[in-house]
Every structure is written in C-alpha cells, then in structure tokens.
Amino acid sequence: MIDVSALRHGTDVAGVAAAIDDACRTFGFFSVIGHGVPMELEQRLERSAREFFALGDDEKAAIAMATGGRAWRGWFPVGGELTSGKPDAKEGVYFGTELPADDPRVLAGVPLHGANRFPERPADLRQAVLDHLAAVAELGQAVLTGMAVGLGLGAGWFRQELTADPLVLFRIFHYPPVLPGNEQWSVGEHTDYGLITLLRQDDVGGLEVRGPGGWIDAPPVPDSFVVNLGDMLERMTGGRYRSTPHRVRNTTGVSRLSFPLFLDPGWDVDVRPIPGAEDLAVEEWERWDGRSVHDWSGTYGDYLLGKVGRVFPDLGAQVLGDGGR
C-alpha cells in the first residue's frame, strides 16, 4: 500500500519512487492511496454500472461490440471474451479515449480509436465514464513518474517517450457469482499487455495474484486503486519489473464489478528497452503462457492487434481480417 500523494504534488518523489520500485521488482502488483480521484465520482460510476448490468441482454445489445466497428467499443455478453482460449464467466463494456469522427486516426480507420458507445440508460453512465477516464489516466501518469525515478530515468521519461499520446482503454466488468461445483474462472490466469493497469474494485473480492510463494488474495481496500504491470514494462526493463499473472473467481454468491483502466504506449510508439536495461536484466522466469515478452519488437499498435484478436476471435476476423491481424 503506497501513498502517491507526493507524486501528485511533487514532494518527496524519491521516497515514493523507492517504494514503487521495490513493489514492482517483488510482486508487480501494489495498491495506491492518496490518488486524488474523488470517491464521489467512483460511487457515481459504480451506481450507473450496476444499473446498466441490471438491464436485459436485449437492451444492452443496443451497444454491442459486434456492431461497433474498428473502435472495439461496447458491450459483450457473459462468455463473449476469451482468456487463453476459454470463455470467461463475465460480461463487460469496452471504452477508451473519446475521439470525434473527424480525428485523423478515426478517418484512417486505426483500430481501437473512435467514439465510445453509451447506452440510453442509465443516462449518467456517459459522464461518469469520461470523468473517470480523465482522472485515472492522470493518476497513471503520476505512477509512471515514480517508476521512472525508481529506474534511474528522468521523472518525465515515460510521458516524453511513450505516453505523450497514450492509448487509454477502460473496461467495466460484471462477474455473476460462480455456482458451487462450477470450476469455470470468472477470468482465467493472464497478464496484461501494456505498461500499467489501474484497477478499482467494488467491495466483493475475488482477485488473486501469483506472488513469489504462490497465489494470494488481493482483497479490495476502500478508497484505493490496485496497480499492476503489463508485459511491455517487463520487456522494457529486462525483467526487473514483473508482469504478474492474476485471475478472478467470484464465489461470493453476489455479483462483482471491477473497473480496470489500461494506460499504455501510444499506438505508433516503437517499444524498446529503457536506457540501461541491460544492467537491470534478470534471469527470465517461466511465464504462464510459455512465451517470452523479449522475443518481440515493433510498434505497440502492431503488438496489441495480435492480442485483442485472440480475445475476440470472431470480431477480430470480422473487423480486422486475417484472424484479427
């Protein structure tokens, strides 16, 4: 649990950076308080999300991802998203940076860029999502400042080199309770793709993280965000920072909501090791998927397309062609 208020105010950055660096090397997961995101906003967002998921599937399907085109925004039903090729026991809505129709990236048909799809009701969901996106993305930039200092880089290195125009994607996930005896995971074991994920949980619980000694619970803590690292950050740091596997099983008997925001490199950014990465490199560990994050090079957009096409294979083939590429 790390208080990041100093990063937001520019005081004692070194002390907070040291704590973040230690957490990134040890677990790849930590929680932050002192984040500055108004809890009134988070309560609005959760209330609106619960109202939306209480609607019937026919009404939610009015903003279905399958009809959303190349921006990949909108709702998918329970079982509509795959992790490691297996359907998850969750439904959700995909959002991202709101772009107008005349934005050059939208006109060029760049995937994952465009306008969000908001339901007619609840009416407040639109503004709550947009306000949350703005506030939590800025929190993410502050966390990256701490990471940059911890890695011996300039405080503004990530913003200057990778996130001056970041790819910001946001999800709201609804996890119905898994019935006793059902071995299906709400979300199977996986790692995230990019730099960092900032997650707000409701008070239900169910998130598990694979630490050095095995799987451990990551219980919800009021007025906090969970931060976890993505594959690109592990690659860029030569493995010093770990992209830690995590999973969810909701066996509580009540519905669970989670709100992950992904703050990632810009679409056209060539993701390369950070300066001095060779001095940070550690022995590569056996990853959950048997793949190496170091056996890749190119732009973040190219990397991400290969990933999302596997999560929604039918949509990937329909929108992007060639199995999602």
pLDDT per residue over 91-121, tens digit each?
Answer: 999 999 999 999 999 999 999 999 999 999 9
Task: Give me 211's structure tokens.
Answer: 């630490």
**All structural domains of the chain:** 2-324 (2.60.120.330)
Task: Give me 128's structure tokens.
Answer: 């709550």
Task: Give me 302's structure tokens.
Answer: 């190219």
DSSP 274: P
For 15-24, 195-204, 285-294, which range has the lowest pLDDT when averaged over its residues? 285-294
Sheet containing 256-264: give its strands across. 2-3, 29-33, 225-229, 196-201, 256-264, 167-175, 91-96, 74-76
Question: For the segment 168-186, what is each residue's pLDDT rounded down to a tens digit?
Answer: 999 999 999 987 777 778 9
Give the mean pLDDT of 219-239: 93
pTM: 0.92
Rg (CA), the chain: 19
Q: What's the mean pLDDT when you consider all of the chain? A: 89
